[in-house]
Structure 1
Amino acid sequence: MDLRKITEDFSVSPQITPEDVPAIAEAGFRAVLCNRPDGEEFGQTPYDAVADAARAAGLEVRCVPFSSGQLTQGVVEEFQTALAEMPRPVLAYCRTGTRCTMIWSLVKYDDLGADEVLRATSDAGYDMSGLVAQLDRRA
């Protein structure tokens, strides 16, 4: 399991399994947020299996799935709502963690600004410079 802290309240990870959930709970996470659609890859652990294990461990769980190139304003708003409502800290997962980091950057850009988004994501090993440059141009 590769947990990468973006902030004190939000971390990302590549795909998790039900067997990972006890360690996630022991690490202090209170919620799991899935950003990966089922069936994206052969052999992928289904969301329901992770969700059942997370609930059994006392964690809140939600799914806001989207595929690369399929990010809509509705998905961004749903992700933002999930972050606002879920107990913290939250662990979000997708195939590699990049998708979770990208949508977090979109949601937090206006509040934190470019420099803080880039610092937080870079420290976690993700390059969001292209996305932030696009967001900077929009402003």
Structure 2
Amino acid sequence: MQITTQSPSFSTTAQLQVADLSKCAARGFTVIVNNRPDGEERVQPTSSQIAAEAERLGLGYAYLPIVPGQMTDLDARSLGDILCASNGPALAFCRTGNRSEQLWHRASELGLLPD
């Protein structure tokens, strides 16, 4: 799992598998943000599968699906709200990590991220 750090409180990565969540917790992440809509690929785990494992591990979980090319300011505001409510570093993912990173940049440009 290759993780890209955007800030001390936010990082991104490519598609997570259910088994990856324990590694995320061990690395200190407290919130997982899923930016990938269910069903983009048949082999990806569903949001509910990831949410169940996150809950089992005591991780926060947010499902904020972003369809490629359809990101909005409301999506950026939602990410800001998730991060403001989190109690530690968040790891966001999508297929490659690019959408998650773009969403963070948009939220940052709009001044929606916690200090």
User: Using the alignment, how far apart are the partners of 1:26 and 1:97 within structure 2?
Assistant: 20
Establish whether residue 86 from structure 1 lines up as the match of residue 89 from structure 2.
no
Establish whether residue 106 from structure 1 lines up as the match of residue 77 from structure 2.
no
Stretches of structure 1 that go unaligned for 5 or more consecutive residues are 112-139
- Structure 2: which amino acid aligns with 1:91? L
Larger Rg: 1
Cα shift readout 1:71-110 (whole Å, capped 9, x = no counterpart):
1232222112111112220000101110010010011125
Return 56-65 or 69-78, whichever deviates more. Answer: 69-78
- Structure 2: which amino acid aligns with 1:55? E
- 1:64 maps to which residue? 64
Establish whether residue 50 from structure 1 lines up as the match of residue 37 from structure 2.
no
- Structure 2: which amino acid aligns with 1:102? Q
Task: Considering Cα pairs closer than 8 Å and 6+ residues apart, tell me whether 1 or 2 has the greater RCO.
Answer: 2
User: Using the alignment, how far apart are the partners of 1:60 and 1:53 within structure 2?
Assistant: 10
* RMSD value, Cα: 1.2
- 1:17 maps to which residue? 17
Contact 1:17 1:45 (8 Å CA) reproduced: yes
Contact 2:30 2:87 (8 Å CA) reproduced: yes
User: Using the alignment, how far apart are the partners of 2:16 and 2:70 within structure 1?
Assistant: 22
Stretches of structure 2 that go unaligned for 5 or more consecutive residues are none
Give the fraction of aligned pairs with identical amino acids, expressed as a percent. Answer: 31
After TM superposition, the runs of 4+ consecutive aligned structure 1 residues lying more than 2 A away are none
TM-score, structure 2 normalization: 0.90
TM-score, structure 1 normalization: 0.75
